[in-house]
Chain A
Amino acid sequence: MHFEYQIEGGNFTRAGFASSEIKKMMKQLNVDLGIIKRTVVATYEAEVNVVAHAYSGTIYVDFDEEKVVIKLVDEGPGIDDINQAMTEGYSTASSTVREMGFGAGMGLPNMKKNADDLQITSEVGKGTTVIITMFFAKSEQ
C-alpha cells in the first residue's frame, strides 16, 4: 500500500493530518498499539518540522507485511549540522512558533526515541529527507 500527502510550510492548521491518517490505517491493520503510539509520535514531529522549518514537503507512506516506511521529503533551508539539531533543546524556531508551544527542541529527540529506524539526510539550501521505519513485530534484540 502506498500513500502520499502534501505538507505546506507555515500552515499549522493542517499539521498532524498525515499522522492521523497513518494512525487510522495502522489501527485497521491491527498493528500492536504500542507500535502505533511510537509511530504517531515520530511521524507527528517529522510532519511539524516540515511545517515549522521548511517551505513545502511530501510524505510518502509505504506499508508492507512487516513494516511501514514513512519518508518526508521537503524543500527548505536544510540542516547544516544534524548532530547539533538532534541535541535536546536545540531549536531555531521563530518566537511565534515558540509561543504556540512548538520549538522546544524536543522533536528530533522524540523521533529518535520512538522510531525503530531513523535516517536523516539534508542539503543546506535545498531541503531535508527524513525516513522513519517502524516494524510491526518486535525483532529479537
Chain B
Amino acid sequence: MTVKEIAEKLDFQVLGGEKGLDQAVTTGYVSDLLSDVMGNARAGSIWVTLQTHKNVMAIASLKDLAAIILVNNHKPEDDMLAQSNEEGIPVLATSMGTFDVSGKLYELLRK
C-alpha cells in the first residue's frame, strides 16, 4: 500500500514531502525515542511519533522510512517540513492519538 492510499483511507493530512506519496509502506514503527527507531525500524516503515524536529527527517532518510505520521495534531517545525519536502519523505498529521493510529495502521497493513 502506498503512503497516499494510507493517507486517504485514514484521513491523514499531508503536510509535506508530496514527492514521496507513491512510496510503498511495508510496515509501521511506533516510537518517540530516536535511538530506538535508529536501531529497530525497518526500511519502508511508516513512523508514528510526536517528535516534531528536524532530526526526525534525518533518521527517516538514513533508515529509508516511507513516511512519518504525527499524532495528536502535532505540527512539524519549519526546518523539519523543509527537509521533508527536500527529501520527498511525506509528513502526515492526524488528530488521533498514538493508540488509535497504530491500531488503524495495523489493520490496513497486515492484509
Contact = CB atoms under 8 A, between A and B. Distances in A.
A100 B35 CA distance: 11
Interface in A38-89: 40-41, 44-45, 48
Given A13-B79, A19-B62, A100 B55 contact: yes
Contacts of B34: 48, 100-102, 104
A118 to B, nearest CB: 15
B59 A44 contact: yes
Interface string B62-98: 1100000000000000010000000000000000000
B104 interface: no
Q: Which of B35, B43, B49, B53 has the most CB of A within 10 A?
A: B35
B39 A113 contact: yes
Q: What 4 pairs across the A-B complex have the smallest Cβ distances?
A: A16-B58, A106-B35, A101-B34, A104-B33
Interface of A: 12-13, 15-17, 19-20, 23, 37, 40-41, 44-45, 48, 100-102, 104, 106-107, 110, 113-114
